[in-house]
A and B are shown apart, each in its own frame.
Chain A
Amino acid sequence: DGGITQSPKYLFRKEGQNVTLSCEQNLNHDAMYWYRQDPGQGLRLIYYSQIVNDFQKGDIAEGYSVSREKKESFPLTVTSAQKNPTAFYLCASSFQSDGYTFGSGTRLTVV
């Protein structure tokens, strides 16, 4: 089945560590996105990529980094510079102006 897979489902990070969240899609979508969702809040755009080897900052990119070396993959690294990383992270993909397909999310907790 075609879809978008995020891993891990739960992730724990110690203070000062970098962690990488995985996002893979087999939908052949050109565009991919990372969103952050805090409890009771909407989705905020971190980064997006419309083509391989190119990506753009969203509204809250500080403390995060991404890469897009393959069409299928768009990993997100939460760096130690992100002071409040505890949140629910969602990856999505889309084709042209079609609707977004979302993954099931990664819940990151700082311990």
Chain B
Amino acid sequence: GAGVSQTPSNKVTEKGKDVELRCDPISGHTALYWYRQSLGQGLEFLIYFQGNSAPDKSGLPSDRFSAERTGGSVSTLKIQRTERGDSAVYLCASSLTGLDGDTQYFGPGTRLTVL
């Protein structure tokens, strides 16, 4: 596809359930990023992938959060035992190389609501 895509666009779940969010980066982009944006807040960095490796997981809020990337392409962000505080828009971005100065292109986001 031409841009970054994310599914689902909206996810409503109950507290305690697990969720999986998917990101398809721009074809050929080696770097992939996950961010979280709470209402009225800036973007909170979660994790960065270079190829299939995640050299920086420092932004993951707790061990309930995990992510993987396969084939240097699709990435999945998993949240276990969701809490109401996990409600936010989860944004995925990709860039060509991941190097300094590289532009990050964002997907449309997944709006997660935990009831």
A and B pair up? no
- Residues of A at under 8 Å CB distance from B? none
